Structure 1
Amino acid sequence: MSTDDESFHPLGDEWEDELETMLDDTEYDSDLGMEMAQDAMRVTKGELSEAEFHEKHHEAVMEEFGEDERPTKEAYEAAQEEAKGTASRMLDAFDGDGGETRRETMKKMGVGAAAVGMGAFSSTRDGPMESLSAEGGHSETTEHSDTQWGMTIDLERCDGCLTCMTACTQENDLDAGVNWMYVMAWEDELHEGHEEGTDTGVYSSDFNMGSDFNMLVRPCQHCTDAPCEKVCPTTARHTRDKDGLVLTDYDVCIGCRYCQVACPYGVNYFQWDEPHTDYEDIPKAKDRDVDSPDEITHAQYEHGERWVDSRAPRGVMSKCTMCPSMQDGQQGDEKVGTSACETACPPNAIQFGNVKDEKSDPYQHREHPSKSRAVIRLSSEHTDSSGIPSPETIDGTLSSDDDIESALEKFENLDKETLSIMKAVELVSDRTEPGDEENNSILRKEQEVVAAVDAFEQYVDLETDAAITQLQLGDGSERQARFRIQQYTGKPNSFKLLEDVGTNPNVTYLGEQPGPEAEQVEGPTKYEDVGLVDKRQDLLDEETVGGIDGVSL
């Protein structure tokens, strides 16, 4: 390991020490796990090539595990030449033919996964990591795929209700304390936390649709260049070529926990004891809009050949999966391009979809945040029966004799500010058709706003000097329209967590980024208030672990 006093892990010395202690309590080589984690991050930063990384640790991995199923040096070199990513391969390791299974032979000891310090997620560079050449060892797993599932999360819409965490727990049948995502409130020297009895917070405009707390939502980032995948000796942790999801094959994972050490974000979890939900009781696809439950097979639940979804069995690593059963159509075509956390989020803070698709919600929200915020807010607060009337309703209500004032009087819930923002959206819209792809609701809603404005202008001219003045749109230019929208929604910062590590995370955030000295504080909703537990280890410390004979995990 490094002889420097400085920690190699982005989450700091304390986290690194905790991880090393955790490895010391397993049957596996702690030094090897720490060294591989450090070198895996050197690979993502371009300081070490994939081939060099494999060659450096191959003999030690073979000695420790009796196998090294990581792609070989030759495979890496071929992949670099052909610009291909690591292939997701089905293994025949641990086939269970005779002898002990890997779960029967492994020690299941370690420390619980806690919420990490906030300061680790601050930016330490002026900008994103530059693209690295194949020579530097940085290859994109999904370079030839048109799909990369990911998210854009608007932290200033997050109200800290923890509904996303609850939905994730229910969708994946997770035990209490096995949290695949965290919602955290924080404060630092530049951003004060919420004070009781005040309305101060992070907001500088009237957008304030979230809480008065600084928030961070932390699922797995599903990195394009994931260090956790590089250290896995069995390729249980793998990236799917077709859609970039970083998943764990539960049948192949040996629970060595090296992936937990190599993850810069602290999002991996070890299944300590037998899950509370038996395998046979997992809802699977049979309870989700399937006509013939008896026809649903084990293989279908495991998405072909690998078991990568829902809660993990005992002694296995797990983390946020971004709902592969939905992305694979196991829950119906309407669920493709959605996730449990996104669907459940009351303030629409999470936009999930194909981040490579320019028409997708996460792409639109990332690239046009103020406009997308306005569209989301208008659509969330207004329906055909309230604020945004349909073109048909407008045609049946207005006449050529109307002006702005008389027209607004004819719609119960349509006011001047709403009409102003609708017109501003129309002015900045390039009228891109949403198409038929999944998760393009922002463009569809934008199209509805534009259509309503077009219908309104058949009766009331909204581009006269008088109308522009009434709607507070400056000189009526696109620039002034953008400024009006920003008055309404704010102009959020955009960032990715630990971007300097070079992992290419596929989650983008809008809002305030925690600084180097940020600390987690109590949020607006307590875990116990919604039936959640912060850390699994807290439960295990209070309960008998193992059987009545005292056998440890």
Structure 2
Amino acid sequence: MSADDEPPDEEVFHPLGESWQDDLEDLLEETEYDAELGMEMGRDAMRVTNGDLSEAEFYDRYHDDVMAEFGEDERPVARPDDEDGEDGGIGSTLVGLASGDESRREMLKKAGAGMGFASLGWGAVDQQAPARSVEETAGEVEGADEGTQWGMTIDLEHCDGCLACVTACNQEHNWDEGANWMYVLAYEDGEVESPDPGTVDVEPGECSDNPVVQEFNYLVRPCQHCTDAPCEKVCPTTARHTRDEGGLVLTDYEVCIGCRYCQVACPYGVNYFQWDDPDVDRSELDSEGIYDKRGRPVSRRAPRGVMSKCVFDPARQDGNAGEELIGTSACEQACPPNVIQFGDKNNPASDPQRYEENPARARTIINLFTELPSPNSIESSLTGVDPTLDAVVEAVDGLTTETIALAKGIEMTQEEYEEEAPPGDTLPEKEQTVIDVVSAIEATGLDLESDDALTQLGLTVEGFEGPSQDIEVTSREDVADTLFGDYVDAPESQFELLADIGTNPNVTYLGHQPGPEAHQVPGPVSYADVGMLDTRQEALDEQTVDLDFS
């Protein structure tokens, strides 16, 4: 690489902006490790994911410095002498822990003796610090579509800002207050505005009963568990690594030396350094929740002096918490409006992929599952009732012509998948319950497939009279899909955070993408309301963070 290809030393490279980058550099300078090296490696790790620098060049550029600083270089990147990629590269084998009385972490310590989203930033870099006086095609990763890839689809349009996901994550993983592995913020960006929170009277746990909370604009931020994670590329010890099974980006607490280079290299600001002894003692943690199936301590709150972040619950995915929790996450299960869909992003039959493929239909299933009477109660209520639509609606509380039309539409548009739905998914079960409602109604003798019934339900092309008259419909399935969209006000767009820098994040968002002037505003429920700490907002209030929106 020529000198002309070298980025200027003083450039602002971090997507979260100059203030964030400056704070990171200040914090690195307080550690025992080389701050300049950490900043340069973080910058170039992002250049690798963006396709501006090859992995081999990245490895070679910093190998000598990493060896001098840490005593070894275990970065999982392709090396100049890896002709066939067998000994290195993205899929390289992780080095095992050293045996003996000293942990590898101790040995290494001795040896070592933007965009809309970016404009939001995430506040103070040090969320727990005590007070002190993207020519490669970016993001194309070989083998990225093979096997299970745990990830999320998050529907921002139907988020209600209740913070249940944040508190559930904390209850499961016991991280110190302020180290928000899951973070939810309300924002404005000049295109969309949020209500004045002073005019909103809502108690935690009651957001679903107050429609005004839907008028806020939210962004939900877990770790993105990138397929090509720059944080992993700068870790000298293999502490930060991508697990082959499930593609989870994790931190081995016994290997991490707390150099914080991963914090610099992460474009999303999801890393937290554990400054002090954790609030929850190790003796209070279940070891099955700490160790994954490989025996590596990668979950629950971090010990003192190491890095932590959202982990997508490896203990759950490995079955340590019971087979019924495989394919689930605490935040997903706690979400009252079901806007977090966790599952296998490589399986089209999974909850996140079904939701992403047809948000209106998935949202309709979720709503109907809650609103409709059970199939058994419908059968009981319809005993002896005339097989007409009007008679059925009159006989069963909770049934309307609209909900029957929607349920029939779900049945009409049911898709057969080649793969089975992964464990932990709930959309297939909810869909089947909705279809069972249709069967219970038809058990009375009412033929919902007849032209007369379909006409009454508004499910024929000829009789289509939905609000979306500007949409062309050519089949009954088209009519049903249009009805779904009108019923739930489904999000019309989807995006990934910082998609153009090549990290291949495994979190997909549905809804409005924050614009370049986005800035955080108070939401309907504060972190204090739910017994949590929003260090981000406190930093803004104290003006310790200078957000640059230019």
Q: TM-score per shorter chain, which class?
A: 0.7 to 0.9
Q: Which amino acid aligns with 1:69?
A: E
1:467 aligned residue: 453
8 Å CA contact retained: 2:348, 2:417: no
1:29 aligned residue: 34
8 Å CA contact retained: 1:185, 1:521: yes
8 Å CA contact retained: 2:350, 2:421: no
Give per-residue Cα distances to partners, 1:465-516, cap 9 Å, x unaligned.
5433432335262111111110012231111111111100001111111111
Q: Which amino acid aligns with 1:429?
A: Q
The residue correspondences of 1:111-260 to structure 2 (distance < 5 A) are: 118-119=119-120, 138-140=140-142, 144=146, 146-195=147-196, 197=199, 211-260=214-263
- The 3 A distance-change label for structure 1 pair 100 and 471 is closer
Distance across 2 between alignment mates of 1:508 and 1:398: 46
The residue correspondences of 1:77-476 to structure 2 (distance < 5 A) are: 77-79=83-85, 85-92=91-98, 96=102, 118-119=119-120, 138-140=140-142, 144=146, 146-195=147-196, 197=199, 211-285=214-288, 301-384=291-374, 389-390=375-376, 393-394=378-379, 397=382, 401-432=386-417, 435=420, 437-458=422-443, 459-473=445-459, 475=461
Of stretches 394-403 and 265-274 in structure 1, the one that deviates more from structure 2 is 394-403
- Please give the secondary structure, in 2, of the residue aligned with 1:449: helix
- Please give the secondary structure, in 2, of the residue aligned with 1:165: helix
8 Å CA contact retained: 2:324, 2:424: no
**Offset of residue 11 of structure 1:** 0.9
**Offset of residue 530 of structure 1:** 0.7
**Offset of residue 30 of structure 1:** 1.5
1:14 aligned residue: 19
- Please give the secondary structure, in 2, of the residue aligned with 1:285: helix
**Offset of residue 451 of structure 1:** 3.2
1:546 aligned residue: none
Give per-residue Cα distances to partners, 1:311-354, cap 9 Å, x unaligned.
11110000000111101111010010011111111111111111
- The 3 A distance-change label for structure 1 pair 187 and 354 is same
Distance across 2 between alignment mates of 1:339 and 1:21: 35
- The 3 A distance-change label for structure 1 pair 140 and 236 is farther
Of stretches 213-222 and 434-443 in structure 1, the one that deviates more from structure 2 is 434-443
Distance across 2 between alignment mates of 1:213 and 1:254: 40
**Offset of residue 198 of structure 1:** 8.4
Distance across 2 between alignment mates of 1:83 and 1:32: 21
Distance across 2 between alignment mates of 1:192 and 1:335: 38
1:488 aligned residue: 487
Q: Give the number of aligned pairs.
A: 496
- The 3 A distance-change label for structure 1 pair 185 and 41 is same
- Please give the secondary structure, in 2, of the residue aligned with 1:156: helix
- Please give the secondary structure, in 1, of the residue aligned with 2:363: helix
Q: Which amino acid aligns with 2:33?
A: Y
Give per-residue Cα distances to partners, 1:390-446, cap 9 Å, x unaligned.
4x8438725684211101112111112211211222222225598463133212221
- The 3 A distance-change label for structure 1 pair 106 and 383 is farther
Distance across 2 between alignment mates of 1:76 and 1:267: 32
Q: Which amino acid aligns with 1:53?
A: F
- Please give the secondary structure, in 2, of the residue aligned with 1:185: strand
Q: Gaps (5+ residues) in structure 2?
A: 1-5, 123-133, 202-209, 465-475, 543-550
Distance across 2 between alignment mates of 1:337 and 1:178: 24
8 Å CA contact retained: 1:156, 1:210: no
Give per-residue Cα distances to partners, 1:19-60, cap 9 Å, x unaligned.
111111112111111111111111111111111111111011
8 Å CA contact retained: 2:386, 2:392: no
Percentage identity across aligned positions? 50
- Please give the secondary structure, in 2, of the residue aligned with 1:326: helix
Q: Gaps (5+ residues) in structure 1?
A: 108-115, 122-128, 200-206, 287-299, 543-553
**Offset of residue 9 of structure 1:** 1.1
Distance across 1 between alignment mates of 2:346 and 2:212: 28
**Offset of residue 62 of structure 1:** 0.8
Distance across 2 between alignment mates of 1:208 and 1:471: 28
Of stretches 448-457 and 402-411 in structure 1, the one that deviates more from structure 2 is 448-457
- Please give the secondary structure, in 2, of the residue aligned with 1:54: helix
Q: Which amino acid aligns with 1:342?
A: E
Distance across 1 between alignment mates of 2:213 and 2:120: 22
RMSD: 3.4
Determine whether 1:3 maps to 2:45.
Answer: no
Distance across 1 between alignment mates of 2:488 and 2:86: 44
- The 3 A distance-change label for structure 1 pair 192 and 97 is closer
Distance across 1 between alignment mates of 2:166 and 2:324: 22
- The 3 A distance-change label for structure 1 pair 97 and 333 is closer
